[in-house]
Structure 1
Amino acid sequence: MSTYLICLSINGGLPLFTRKHGDLKSVPFALLASLNGVAMFGSSHDVTLLNTVTRECRIQWRDYHNSIRLIIVVPLDSVGDFHVHRLLDCIFQSLVLFCGLDDLIALRNIDRVKYELRSAFPVIDHLLSGLQPSDKSVLFGDLIGGADVICAQESGALQPYLENYTEAVDSTYGAVFVAGKIVCATSNWWGLHTDELSLLSCFIRTEYPSSLSDTPIFLPVKSPTVPFRLVTCRYR
């Protein structure tokens, strides 16, 4: 399934990034400007453009905080409007995850924001790939607004070790993942919003493999303006 995703600033119409899934050419600038121009024309006449269809594709626009505009183009016979709206909400939350809501709303330094948003590309690509599930991708938590889990007999045995580890590093949030799915987690981790659980799972699955990493993140629901530290340890 071929998909285009375009992210722009609403005020200036400046492209922040474009992503694609499938064997497609890059989005021509003329097409990008036209898709944004249609929405701007409607806005100037107090009309909010939500979606439209052509003979081959479905196009949807979605604005966030009067600052960020996401435009997505998917094949007409692929998914419904509700699924696409859900996907766009997840994508915007992934932007908040790495950049923070304040910077996305203010957009004072476009170049710095564009640089920071690169960290979200692996998560965004993973979300877009969910439009075409394959044997290589068995995760679907982002589609239902939840987290993928594994029900294993070893979960109970791992729980005390996880609790001791999180206490040793002065934290109450922790989880053990296997192949992108949660095996066990602390009570505070389960207390996060389901969208946050889904996005964190996506990030951990798509993160560049390393023995240890420390990444500043914002929780889109719990803490969209104050960053946390996400520390991941991998064992092979």
Structure 2
Amino acid sequence: MMMLQDGSTQLICLTASSGVPLFTRGASRQLPFSVIGSLNGVHMFGGGQGVVLSSCDTDGGGKVVWRVFLDSVMLIAVSGGGPSGSCGTEEETRLQRLLENVWSCMVLVLGQDELTNVRNVERLKRDLRSCFSLIDQLLEEKQGYLGNLTHCADSLLPSSSILLQEAVDGFAQAADSEFGCLVVHGRIATATEEWWRQLVPQEIVLLSALIRTLSASGSASCDYPVFLPQFSPTVAHRLLRFQLLPGADVCVLCGSTPSLHKAGTELVGRFWSPLVETLRNCLALGDRCLPGSISLRPDVLALLLINRETRRSVSCLQNSSHHPPILSKARCWELLKLFYTFSISRYFTQEERTQRDITEDFLLGFSHQPQQCYLVTEECKCYALQTPQHQLYLLVMPSVPTFALGTLATQTLSDIVAPTGF
């Protein structure tokens, strides 16, 4: 049975105990209520027999993934089939990450208590609407942002990092906070030490997505309550966001003080007015995310670089000199995500491996931990390199000799890390 169109994903949220639907998001062609009931019923039947049903494939090439959180909420992701080039293993990895992110998003906005102590289902349905814009962003998987998939913070590497770091540290301290960050084009340009040290990577990814959503609303500033899924799931913090320039926002997580008005009128100008030109230069990097002093080999189409220790990542496409381009931007992002899920599903150690890991049997076939892998396709060649500190994923032109891919990857990694210290 083909339940959805190829490439589309529908998310279903129900109460775990009674199977009452709370919301559905995603594909324009929604599943019939009878199908939703069957998906819930088969999971409940398995649970009654002592079997945990986590995923299955459909006859039409789609996939269904179930997950119950804290015996309170069941999330079901239904895919009409992965993007062109993906297979079941990669698609399941993507859907499992999606369910984890959606649950954490619900905790971020409503708090864990609201989701686990449900007294009024109709009220919960209404409250969950405040999560929809953020959940929709997770489902859309906008081009250029890979943090939802990698659970690493999408970052930008400015050339004036020291000046910006000092400003963020000073602004956060003046706002009685240890948690502050500067977001440029939806990516973190710099943040306080505690932002990186105390918040878990998934929290940082979701906060970045929330900041993008709030920034897109057009408001110059906002005071938004958030629950941090790991750090503080039951006690809300205030997220203060201020637009410095279009595309550049500074944020702090704080307690009851300062007021939004005081922070906006007294602190923003003091710390950020002297840095207007620096911010403009940072904005000029655009989607490249790398300082202008770093030049990539012309045969590199796209890259994703992850710092495994800090759980930060930078990703970018390189403008092609070919007319028309070898690959469209949309296809480059799609292939980069597919290659990432291919690599972590089959070869590389995932930092967040669990007992439910779908790749365990495959990895047991290796007597060593793979450090490199590659794919050769008609559209491009893909190469991944893993070191103790980094993972690098490259898309390169098909004309690059396969034997040269390792050298190209090693050189690219050095060209970025050496000058930036990333």
When normalised by structure 2's length, the TM-score is 0.52
SS of match in other structure, 1:111: helix
Q: 1:27 aligns with which of 31, 55, 63?
A: 31
> What is the CA–CA distance in structure 2 between the aligned matches of 1:187 and 1:86, rounded to whole Å?
26
Deviation of the 1:189 alpha carbon = 0.9
Q: Percent identity?
A: 39
SS of match in other structure, 1:11: coil
Determine the structure 1 residue equivalent to 2:345.
Answer: none
Kindly indicate whether residue 138 of structure 2 is the aligned counterpart of residue 127 of structure 1: yes
Q: Which has the larger radius of gyration?
A: 2
> What is the CA–CA distance in structure 1 between the aligned matches of 2:71 and 2:240, rounded to whole Å?
33
Determine the structure 2 residue equivalent to 1:81.
Answer: 92
Determine the structure 1 residue equivalent to 2:243.
Answer: 234
What letter is aligned with 1:93? S
* Superposed CA offset, 1:10-68 (max 9, x none): 112111110014xx323322222121111122222222211111122111111111111
| Count of aligned residue pairs for this structure pair | 229
Determine the structure 2 residue equivalent to 1:44.
Answer: 48
Deviation of the 1:168 alpha carbon = 1.9
What letter is aligned with 2:109? F
> What is the CA–CA distance in structure 2 between the aligned matches of 1:160 and 1:65, rounded to whole Å?
41
Q: Would the aligned equivalents of 2:8 and 2:81 in 1 still touch at CA under 8 Å?
A: no
* Superposed CA offset, 1:111-149 (max 9, x none): 33222222222221122222xx6xxx2010121111011
> What is the CA–CA distance in structure 1 between the aligned matches of 2:120 and 2:69, rounded to whole Å?
18
> What is the CA–CA distance in structure 1 between the aligned matches of 2:53 and 2:220, rounded to whole Å?
46
Kindly indicate whether residue 124 of structure 2 is the aligned counterpart of residue 113 of structure 1: yes
Determine the structure 2 residue equivalent to 1:167.
Answer: 173
Q: Would the aligned equivalents of 1:98 and 1:116 in 2 still touch at CA under 8 Å?
A: no
> What is the CA–CA distance in structure 2 between the aligned matches of 1:77 and 1:217, rounded to whole Å?
33
Q: Would the aligned equivalents of 1:99 and 1:113 in 2 still touch at CA under 8 Å?
A: no
Deviation of the 1:185 alpha carbon = 0.7
What letter is aligned with 1:182? I
- Change beyond 3 A, Cα 1:28–1:95: same
State which drifts further: 108-117 or 95-104.
108-117
Determine the structure 2 residue equivalent to 1:9.
Answer: 15
Deviation of the 1:209 alpha carbon = 2.6
Deviation of the 1:103 alpha carbon = 1.6
Determine the structure 2 residue equivalent to 1:217.
Answer: 226
Kindly indicate whether residue 202 of structure 2 is the aligned counterpart of residue 198 of structure 1: no
Q: 1:185 aligns with which of 162, 183, 191?
A: 191
State which drifts further: 119-128 or 198-207.
119-128
Q: Would the aligned equivalents of 2:65 and 2:77 in 1 still touch at CA under 8 Å?
A: yes
State which drifts further: 193-202 or 12-21.
12-21
If asked which structure has higher relative contact order (CA below 8 Å, sep 6+), I would say 1
Deviation of the 1:164 alpha carbon = 2.0
Determine the structure 1 residue equivalent to 2:401.
Answer: none
Q: Would the aligned equivalents of 1:18 and 1:27 in 2 still touch at CA under 8 Å?
A: no
Determine the structure 2 residue equivalent to 1:63.
Answer: 68
SS of match in other structure, 1:183: strand
Determine the structure 2 residue equivalent to 1:91.
Answer: 102
Unaligned runs of 5+ in 1: none
Deviation of the 1:171 alpha carbon = 1.1
Runs of 4+ in 1 over 3 A off after TM superposition: 76-79
What letter is aligned with 2:66? W
Deviation of the 1:75 alpha carbon = 2.7
SS of match in other structure, 1:80: helix
* Superposed CA offset, 1:180-201 (max 9, x none): 1011111111121001011101
